């Protein structure tokens, strides 16, 4: 086979120098037919080794038949159906090569965004590096919201992924970072927002108050919100490396200090900096509602003798003076408050850990006072029930003899019988 260098030289001598085939063959020491083949070929020669074949070639018709019936059949099942006894890697490679021929194409179109139209939302879970209690490290979710047109990123660490915290985080970012409301908030199938295209009741109320729409994408379709997915990767690779945190508040402080620099980066998609486009993005959005939406979580329970209420996996003490009455429990991202008939009966800083008990010393003191008063009242009630001046310890034994009809029995014989 002629080399690429000889092929190129033959064509040069013939075209540039005008030499005849016989002269070129004599000068390069090759056969005249080799010169003719080189002049007839417009592409460089390439060595191609003939394939020796594979063991899979014999069973490829069976593989094609199985894939035609069930395109997503796993390679392990195909191996079982065709009684494959050789290397599994060879079979998997051929199945991977043939499977696209039988699967319907699923193209992803390029989406064109308009200013103020869409803000994509997602949760990013950093490594377990955030201290939430004494020596306890956790990985709370980070709510990430990205304006699709400008690429502006806003993010906030949340205590949990429950509905109340998600809505509170969205409201804080919309008011603090965007200052306006987009036409649509795009989420995946996050359970705290809704599932199967059916929003939770608090999420529907939140969207109604803001005058926007919360749209949930199809399952397993990350391309539908690729802008925020890339932002999550950017946070993972550019914000986290080399950082240490002392508390969730410290995490949010460092994140808030870093985000302005992140929004100054030049986006290849837009050719501009997100911070420079935010004003135009916000101007195309709707204004914030005059009344803030209901965020956080709230519930009403009857306070039991164990004067604690459970909120997000932790127990918080309540003033024991309202035991037995209904109390309203409210929780936002920072505090847990309890009221009874509109009056505050407990206030605690929210704990981000799980299975913790938070007790106010004043509640313990009140419980001790109430318990002592209750015991004193109970003792006084027993004395009144027995009658004034009568004490069980001072009753003569003859009272019990008459009660059990023991009069006339010899004590010695009775004790002997017992023995």
- Cα 28 to its chain centre, rounded Å, is 70
For β-strands 308-311 and 314-317, DSSP reports them as antiparallel
Instruction: Please name every residue paired with 301 in a beta bridge, in sequence order, or none if there are none.
Output: 327
Considering the domain architecture, whether residues 337 and 202 belong to the same structural domain is answered as no
Q: Is 242 within the bounds of a domain?
A: yes
Q: Would you state the pLDDT for residue 95?
A: 95
pLDDT digits (tens, 9 = 90+) for 229-280: 999 999 999 999 999 999 999 999 999 999 999 999 999 989 999 999 999 9
Residue 1 token pair: 């086979």
Considering the domain architecture, whether residues 270 and 179 belong to the same structural domain is answered as yes
Residue 185 token pair: 């908030």
Burial 101-110 (b: 16+ CB within 10 A, else e): eeeeeeeeee
Lowest mean pLDDT among 41-50, 134-143, 286-295, 408-417: 408-417
Domain limits for position 307: 297-363
User: How many Cβ atoms sit within 10 Å of the Cβ of residue 285?
Assistant: 20
Considering the domain architecture, whether residues 275 and 199 belong to the same structural domain is answered as yes
Cα gap 350→361, rounded to integer Å: 17
Checking if the pLDDT of 378 tops 90, the result is: no
Q: Is 375 within the bounds of a domain?
A: no
Residue 106 token pair: 């699923």
Q: Is 393 within the bounds of a domain?
A: no
Q: Helix (H, G, I), strand (E, B), or coil: what is residue 317?
A: strand
Cα gap 381→364, rounded to integer Å: 26
Cα gap 338→300, rounded to integer Å: 9
Considering the domain architecture, whether residues 123 and 272 belong to the same structural domain is answered as yes
Q: Would you state the pLDDT for residue 413?
A: 53
Checking if the pLDDT of 406 tops 90, the result is: no
Helix residue spans in 177-273 (DSSP H)? 201-210, 226-234, 248-262
Lowest mean pLDDT among 39-53, 73-87, 203-217, 245-259: 39-53
pLDDT digits (tens, 9 = 90+) for 82-130: 999 999 999 999 999 999 999 988 777 777 899 999 999 999 999 888 9
For β-strands 136-138 and 184-187, DSSP reports them as unpaired
| Number of domains composing the chain | 4
Q: What is the value of pTM for the model shown?
A: 0.69
């Amino acid at each position: 086979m002629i080399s690429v260098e000889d092929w190129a030289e033959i064509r040069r001598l013939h075209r540039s120098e005008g030499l005849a085939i016989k002269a070129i063959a004599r000068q390069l020491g090759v056969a005249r037919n080799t010169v003719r083949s080189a002049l007839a070929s417009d592409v460089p020669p390439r060595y191609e080794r003939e394939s020796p074949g594979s063991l899979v070639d014999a069973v490829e018709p069976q593989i094609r038949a199985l894939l035609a019936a069930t395109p997503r059949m796993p390679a392990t099942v195909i191996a079982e159906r065709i009684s494959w006894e050789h290397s599994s890697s060879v079979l998997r490679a051929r199945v991977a090569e043939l499977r696209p021929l039988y699967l319907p194409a699923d193209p992803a179109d390029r989406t064109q965004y308009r200013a103020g139209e869409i803000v994509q939302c997602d949760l990013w879970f950093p490594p377990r590096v955030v201290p939430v209690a004494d020596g306890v490290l956790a990985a709370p979710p980070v709510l990430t919201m990205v304006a699709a047109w400008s690429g502006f990123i806003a993010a906030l660490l949340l205590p949990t992924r429950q509905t109340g915290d998600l809505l509170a985080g969205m409201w804080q970012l919309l008011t603090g970072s965007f200052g306006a409301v987009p036409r649509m908030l795009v989420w995946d199938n996050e359970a705290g927002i809704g599932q199967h295209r059916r929003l939770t009741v608090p999420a529907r109320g939140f969207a109604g108050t803001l005058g926007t729409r919360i749209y949930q994408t199809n399952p397993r379709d990350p391309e539908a919100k690729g802008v925020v997915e890339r932002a999550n990767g950017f946070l993972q690779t550019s914000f986290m490396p080399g950082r240490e945190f002392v508390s969730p508040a410290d995490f949010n402080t460092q994140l808030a200090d870093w985000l302005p620099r992140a929004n100054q980066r030049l986006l290849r998609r837009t050719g501009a900096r997100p911070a420079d486009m935010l004003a135009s993005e916000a101007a195309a959005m709707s204004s914030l509602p005059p009344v803030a939406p209901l965020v956080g979580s709230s519930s009403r329970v009857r306070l039991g003798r164990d004067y604690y209420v459970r909120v997000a996996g932790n127990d918080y003490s309540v003033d024991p003076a309202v035991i037995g009455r209904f109390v309203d429990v409210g929780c936002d991202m920072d505090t847990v408050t309890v009221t009874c008939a509109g009056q505050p009966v407990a206030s605690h800083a929210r704990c981000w850990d799980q299975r913790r008990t938070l007790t106010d010393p004043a509640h313990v003191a009140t419980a001790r006072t109430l318990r002592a008063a209750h015991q004193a009242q109970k003792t006084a009630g027993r004395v009144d029930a027995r009658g004034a001046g009568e004490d069980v310890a001072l009753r003569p034994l003859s009272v019990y003899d008459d009660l059990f009809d023991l009069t006339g029995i010899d004590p010695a014989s009775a004790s002997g019988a017992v023995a």
